[in-house]
Amino acid sequence: MNEPAPMAQLSAAAGALRNWSMLASLSILGLIALLCLIGPLISGHPYDQVYRDYVLVRPSLFAHPDWAEVEEAVSAMARRMHVRIEASRDGEIRHMTLEAAKPIDPRALRAFERSDLFAPARIVASKDEGRRLAIDVPLKRTLFLFGTDANGRDLFTRVLIAGRVSLAVGLLASFVALTIGVAYGAVAGYAGGRIDSLMMRAIEIIYALPFIFFVIVLVMVFGRHFVLIFAAIGAVEWLDMARIVRGQTLSIKQRDFVAAAEALGATTPAILWRHVIPNASGPIIAYLTVLVPRVILLESFVSFLGLGVQEPLTSWGVLIADGARNIQGSIHLLIFPALFLGATLGALQTLGDGFRAHGLRSR
Partner 1 sequence: MLRYFLSRIVMVVPTLLIIIALAFFLMRLAPGGPFDSERALDPEIAKNLRRIYKLDRPLLEQFWLYLQSLAHGDFGPSLHWRDFTVNQLFATALPISVALGTKAMLTAILAGTALGLVGAMSKGGIGPRLVDGAAIFGIVLPVFVVAPLLQLGFGLTLHILPVGGWNDGAWQNQILPVITLALPQIAIVARLMQAALIDALAMPHIRTLRAFGMPGFHITLHALRAAFPPVVSYLGLAAANVLTGSVIVETIFGIPGMGRYFVDGALGRDYTLVMGTVVVVAGAVLLFNLIVDLVLAWLDPRVRYESRS
Told to check if 28 binds partner 1 by CB under 8 A, we report no
What CA–CA distances, in Å, run from 169 to 163, 165, 307, 350? 10, 6, 14, 20
In the complex with partner 1, the residue whose CB is nearer, 8 or 209, is: 209
Interface residue with partner 1, options 15, 120, 269, 306 (CB under 8 A): 306
Told to check if 228 binds partner 1 by CB under 8 A, we report no
Told to check if 32 binds partner 1 by CB under 8 A, we report no
DSSP state letter for 258: H
Told to check if 34 binds partner 1 by CB under 8 A, we report no
Told to check if 320 binds partner 1 by CB under 8 A, we report yes
CA distance 302 to 299: 5
Check if the beta carbon of residue 180 is closer than 8 Å to that of residue 238: yes
Ordered DSSP codes for 9-37: HHHHHHHHTTSHHHHHHHHHHHHHHHHHH
In the complex with partner 1, the residue whose CB is nearer, 83 or 244, is: 244
Told to check if 59 binds partner 1 by CB under 8 A, we report no
CA dihedral of 254, 259, 260, 262, whole degrees rounded to 10: 140
CA distance 229 to 235: 10
- Specify the stretch interacting with partner 1 by CB under 8 A; choose among 123-131, 142-150, 191-199, 303-311: 303-311
Told to check if 211 binds partner 1 by CB under 8 A, we report yes
Interface residue with partner 1, options 282, 293, 308, 354 (CB under 8 A): 293
Interface residue with partner 1, options 8, 223, 360, 363 (CB under 8 A): 223
Complete edge-to-edge strand list for the sheet that includes strand 93-99? 84-87, 93-99, 132-138, 122-127
DSSP state letter for 120: P
Told to check if 212 binds partner 1 by CB under 8 A, we report yes
- Specify the stretch interacting with partner 1 by CB under 8 A; choose among 163-171, 203-211, 242-250, 276-284: 203-211
CA 330 to mean position of chain CA atoms: 21
Q: How many helices (H) and strands (E) does the chain have?
A: 15, 4
Told to check if 323 binds partner 1 by CB under 8 A, we report yes
CA-CA-CA-CA torsion sign (287, 288, 292, 293): negative
Interface residue with partner 1, options 24, 213, 268, 360 (CB under 8 A): 213
Told to check if 346 binds partner 1 by CB under 8 A, we report yes
Interface residue with partner 1, options 194, 264, 328, 361 (CB under 8 A): 328
Interface residue with partner 1, options 77, 160, 203, 341 (CB under 8 A): 341
Phi and psi at 103, nearest 5°, equal -60, 145
Residues forming the site for partner 1 (CB under 8 A): 204-205, 208-213, 216-218, 220-221, 223, 293, 297, 300-301, 304-307, 317, 320-321, 323-324, 327-328, 331, 334, 338, 341-343, 345-346, 349-350
